[in-house]
Structure 1
Amino acid sequence: MPRSALISALLLASLSLSLNARAETDPWANYDKVLKTLPKDAAATLDRGVSCNHFSGEINGDNSAADKQTFREMKKLKCGTVDQDIASVKNKYKNNKAVVNAIQVYYEN
């Protein structure tokens, strides 16, 4: 095998391993699958919390039209109570390792 072909093959193998390792360590790659394994109320509350966290990061604080739209979306999601709702779900399912772990991975981190 020519040296350049060998180098190309090694680079491709390395890239493949790197991408597989990233997929295994990126919890967001499995988010939708994880939600489907949780009780419906826990999944809905967690998803709401994740959405609220996302929208809170979108606020620029410049009172722009985009900020106003983001605040409207957050109001629809009832983001003002999401922390308490997550705590309630966490307490309700304190013995359900999947629920507790999902909240820690996707909401608290």
Structure 2
Amino acid sequence: MNHRLANVLGALSMFASAVVTNAQDADAAVRIMPPPGCGFIRLPQPVGELTARYFHCANSFILIKFHWSGGNTGTACIPPFYQHPFFRADGQEVVNAYYVSTPPNLTGPPDDLRCSLTQPRV
């Protein structure tokens, strides 16, 4: 199975399992379905601790920078056609995330690249 198909199937299974686990919540499916676009999307209402997602809609690895409500920042490597969830932590939420032109650190052979555990700070 190629990496892109595995990412898509993984994302679909996460959405499906979230719908099943929140069956009592009538509008849970609406809040967790993927949006029509790409990029940073805040959920209208949190689903548990999940508050936002970043949807990457291209066949490339990218680096994103994100901002917490308390002022801290971070970076994350995003694989092709992947979605990155953001969860509430210590009472703070990620309020924005966006692509930066700095290339991410990658590891692995050329036909099976993956994000490295450490990423550049920008």
Q: Same-fold call, TM > 0.5? A: no
Considering fraction of residues, name the structure with more strand.
2
> What's the TM-score, normalizing by structure 2?
0.24
Considering fraction of residues, name the structure with more helix.
1
> What's the TM-score, normalizing by structure 1?
0.26
